[in-house]
Chains A and B, each alone.
Chain A
Amino acid sequence: MKSSCDLAVHAAALTKTFGPTRALNGVDLSVPAGSVYGFLGPNGAGKTTTLRILATLLRPDAGAAQVLGHDVVREPDAVRARISLAGQFASVDEDLTGSENLRILGRLQGHRPRAARARAQELIEAFGLVDAADRPVKTYSGGMRRRLDLAGSLTAAPDLIFLDEPTTGLDPAGRTQVWAIVRALADQGTTILLTTQYLDEADQLAARIAVIDHGRVIAEGTPGQLRESVGSSTLHIRLTHPEQRPEAARTLERVFGLPVHLDANPAALSVSGRTPHQAATALADLCRDGTGVAGFSLGRPSLDEVFLALTAHSDSGQEHVA
């Protein structure tokens, strides 16, 4: 077995079925200690299920996982003593105030009443919840609730924190605040495993990323490696005549050597490339062939495009880019 000393999480071949649904289909995961690890995937990919297994809430049907060196099924208490979980749907008590929530969690971690109160106060101040501290959580905005949820994970210095979609539903300012908290935690040496549906977010925060789809990890690596495999920039094209799309797709495929994504809009298509130069070549070729281009833009690849590219890779047996 692989050494798990410097790994915060080591999971091998995790499977989990819910009735007819195969939620996890052999998930392998190695999360190095002391960094932010991104777990990226679309709805229903198996992110929450994986996190719940690692956080001892769910037993895997098969496979094994060690968290901080302890087996999640055989030694759940040893794991629980050192982890924290902020679930996908805020895991705080709606009827109680923010301060009461944090004090209860502090007491349940083993703090004496005075220490629990002091820690709650510190977190309330750090997370900008002073004005709301004595209001029931049901009066909080989504962003405040998320911050309280994060604070709830920090009452007792965990070594590893699981954050399930910490920014889903937040506005850009709220998202930036959560990112700042995650970065501050990482700077303190806490390992963070966070799930997200946004490549952008994983890219911003994570030292390494695993991409999961249909219950399997289909790619793993640093954001740089991942982008490399997908293309750093995506060319979006809107055609004047939708009937020219097949022709345009062939041209793009030739220039980029990668699968072309056909948009729901019949006049639109996109492809990821490694350099803006490829985009320039492709546009020139389209122009020469007489394809009418109504507009184009060059942006970062969307999650859709990452998946398209990665699924193409895994079809040819090249599963791990790292």
Chain B
Amino acid sequence: MTLAPPAQATPAPTSGPPAFTPGTRPVPPSPASAALTFAWRALLKIRRVPEQLSDVIAVPIIFTLLFTYLFGGALAGSPHRYLQFLLPGTLVMAVLLATMYTGVNLNTDLSKGVYDRFRTLPIWRPAPIVGALLGDTLRYLLASTLVIALGVALGYRPGGGVSGVLLAVALVVVFALALSWVFTLLGLVLRSSNAILSLAMVVLFPLTLASNTFVDPRTMPGWLRAVVEANPVTHLVTAARDAMAGTATLGQVGTVLLASAALVAVFAPLTMRAYRTRQ
């Protein structure tokens, strides 16, 4: 009788040992450098998966065309005249609706193993989130450019010129970035991207529609008018409208910045707490 060979023979090495040096350990990156690396990562992902921009491209175009021709005749006598009133509002709406993808993207990203690695790196704790927001700025700028370019093509003429338009876009993007912190929080605490999308609808639709985007609040019943005038989006639309017309006041700009700061002050710490305790 002979004994069988061991059941688990070790395969012979097929190649020599890999040749690599231990490398060097640099000083951990500064907060800004880490956040910028995450922003770069976001841009690389847009380049690799450009279809993620389809909403950001489609929504502004559809909104601008649809609302101009749908309401224009009834509300202002002609689409052309209405566009002059509506366009800054469409700009706000298109960009604010794009903020929900911040939460969706963060949520999908977090469910991947690569975040475990990020969380074991010696980096400024909020860097992944701040970097993602910086990357989102690109989406917001893209949406803004589309709305304005289409508006100008349809006959919109900003009285404030290029500087007025740039001021309006800057205000809208700053407010959108602040609002994004609401969605980073939702992205961290909600289980699925579907849950985020449905909650986003509940938050964003009243917020953007119950405003002065489409009609002057003076035409509304008193109670609604009170709601609309308390809505920060109304102040943003007013500021953007007047900036594009070249008549914005310091007070209007200040109100938008104050509302943005308030959003960040509340939702950034909540987001970071959720990020720290998420396991």
Q: Chain A interface (Cβ within 8 Å of chain B)? A: 52, 55-59, 77, 80-97, 100, 104-105, 107-112, 115, 119, 122-123, 126-128, 136, 152, 154-158, 172-173, 175-177, 179-181, 183-184, 188-190, 200, 204, 236, 276, 279, 283, 296-300
Report whether A92 and B114 are in contact in the complex, using a CB–CB cutoff of 8 Å.
yes
Closest to B48 in A: A95
Instruction: Pick the most buried of A77, A93, A115, A154: most chain B CB atoms within 10 A of its CB.
Output: A93
Report whether A109 and B26 are in contact in the complex, using a CB–CB cutoff of 8 Å.
yes
B-side interface mostly: loop
A58 to B117, CA, bound (A): 13
Give the residues in chain A near B21, CB-CB below 8 Å. Answer: 122
Report whether B117 and A95 are in contact in the complex, using a CB–CB cutoff of 8 Å.
no
Please list 5 pairs of residues, one from A and one from B, whose beta carbons are closer than 8 Å in the complex, sorted by A's number: A81-B25, A107-B33, A154-B20, A200-B10, A300-B6
Give the residues in chain B near A91, CB-CB below 8 Å. Answer: 113-114, 116-117
Instruction: Pick the most buried of A107, A127, A179, A183: most chain B CB atoms within 10 A of its CB.
Output: A107
Give the residues in chain B near A152, CB-CB below 8 Å. Answer: 117
Query: Which of A107, A108, A122 is in CB contact (< 8 Å) with B20?
Result: A122
Give the residues in chain B near A176, CB-CB below 8 Å. Answer: 11-14
Report whether A180 and B117 are in contact in the complex, using a CB–CB cutoff of 8 Å.
no
Closest to B20 in A: A126
Report whether B23 and A154 are in contact in the complex, using a CB–CB cutoff of 8 Å.
yes
B1-16 vs A, Cβ < 8 Å mask (1 yes, 0 no): 1011011101111111
Report whether A183 and B11 are in contact in the complex, using a CB–CB cutoff of 8 Å.
no
Give the residues in chain A near B222, CB-CB below 8 Å. Answer: none
Report whether A96 and B120 are in contact in the complex, using a CB–CB cutoff of 8 Å.
no
A82 to B41, CA, bound (A): 23
Query: Which of A80, A87, A111, A200 is in CB contact (< 8 Å) with B26?
Result: A111
Give the residues in chain B near A109, CB-CB below 8 Å. Answer: 25-26, 28-29, 121-122
Give the residues in chain B near A87, CB-CB below 8 Å. Answer: 113, 116-117
Report whether A81 and B22 are in contact in the complex, using a CB–CB cutoff of 8 Å.
no
CB distance from A321 to the nearest CB of B (A): 22
Report whether A107 and B18 are in contact in the complex, using a CB–CB cutoff of 8 Å.
no
Report whether A126 and B112 are in contact in the complex, using a CB–CB cutoff of 8 Å.
no
Report whether B23 and A155 are in contact in the complex, using a CB–CB cutoff of 8 Å.
yes
Give the residues in chain B near A110, CB-CB below 8 Å. Answer: 26-29, 33, 122
B interface bracket (residues with beta carbon within 8 Å of A): 35 or more
A57 to B116, CA, bound (A): 7
Give the residues in chain A near B114, CB-CB below 8 Å. Answer: 91-93
Query: Which of A77, A86, A107 is in CB contact (< 8 Å) with B37?
Result: A107
Closest to B1 in A: A283
Report whether B41 and A89 are in contact in the complex, using a CB–CB cutoff of 8 Å.
no
A300 to B5, CA, bound (A): 10
Q: Does B150 contact A (CB under 8 A)?
A: no
A-side interface mostly: mixed
Report whether A184 and B20 are in contact in the complex, using a CB–CB cutoff of 8 Å.
yes
Closest to A78 in B: B122
Known: A108-B121, A173-B11, A299-B8. 16 other contacts (CB 8 A): A85-B120, A87-B113, A89-B113, A93-B45, A107-B37, A108-B118, A108-B123, A110-B29, A111-B26, A156-B25, A157-B24, A158-B25, A180-B15, A180-B18, A204-B10, A300-B7
Report whether B41 and A104 are in contact in the complex, using a CB–CB cutoff of 8 Å.
yes
B142-168 vs A, Cβ < 8 Å mask (1 yes, 0 no): 000000000000000000000000000
CB distance from B33 to the nearest CB of A (A): 7
Closest to B127 in A: A108
B106-139 vs A, Cβ < 8 Å mask (1 yes, 0 no): 0000001110111111110000000000000000
Given contacts A156-B26, A180-B15, contact A297 B113 (CB under 8 A): no
Query: Which of B1, B14, B120, B279 is in CB contact (< 8 Å) with A83?
Result: B120
Q: Does B19 contact A (CB under 8 A)?
A: yes
Give the residues in chain A near B49, CB-CB below 8 Å. Answer: 95
User: Which residues of B76-119 have CB atoms within 8 Å of chain A's CB atoms?
Assistant: 112-114, 116-119
Report whether A96 and B29 are in contact in the complex, using a CB–CB cutoff of 8 Å.
no
User: Which residues of B10-68 have CB atoms within 8 Å of chain A's CB atoms?
Assistant: 10-29, 33-34, 37, 40-41, 44-45, 48-49
Closest to B19 in A: A126
Query: Which of A82, A83, A154, A299 is in CB contact (< 8 Å) with B4?
Result: A299
Report whether A297 and B120 are in contact in the complex, using a CB–CB cutoff of 8 Å.
no
Report whether A188 and B22 are in contact in the complex, using a CB–CB cutoff of 8 Å.
yes
CB distance from B125 to the nearest CB of A (A): 9
A100 to B1, CA, bound (A): 58
Give the residues in chain A near B44, CB-CB below 8 Å. Answer: 96, 100, 104
CB distance from A235 to the nearest CB of B (A): 9
A158 to B122, CA, bound (A): 12
Report whether B17 and A96 are in contact in the complex, using a CB–CB cutoff of 8 Å.
no
Instruction: Pick the most buried of B1, B120, B122: most chain A CB atoms within 10 A of its CB.
Output: B120
CB distance from B88 to the nearest CB of A (A): 35
Query: Which of A52, A56, A93, A112 is in CB contact (< 8 Å) with B112?
Result: A93
Given contacts A81-B122, A84-B120, A89-B113, contact A127 B41 (CB under 8 A): no
Given contacts A107-B29, A126-B19, contact A85 B117 (CB under 8 A): yes
A112 to B29, CA, bound (A): 9
A88 to B122, CA, bound (A): 21
Instruction: Pick the most buried of A58, A122, A156, A283: most chain B CB atoms within 10 A of its CB.
Output: A156
Give the residues in chain A near B23, CB-CB below 8 Å. Answer: 119, 122, 154-157
Report whether B22 and A57 are in contact in the complex, using a CB–CB cutoff of 8 Å.
no
CB distance from B185 to the nearest CB of A (A): 21
Report whether B22 and A108 are in contact in the complex, using a CB–CB cutoff of 8 Å.
no
Report whether B20 and A90 are in contact in the complex, using a CB–CB cutoff of 8 Å.
no
Given contacts A56-B120, A87-B113, A109-B121, contact A81 B18 (CB under 8 A): no
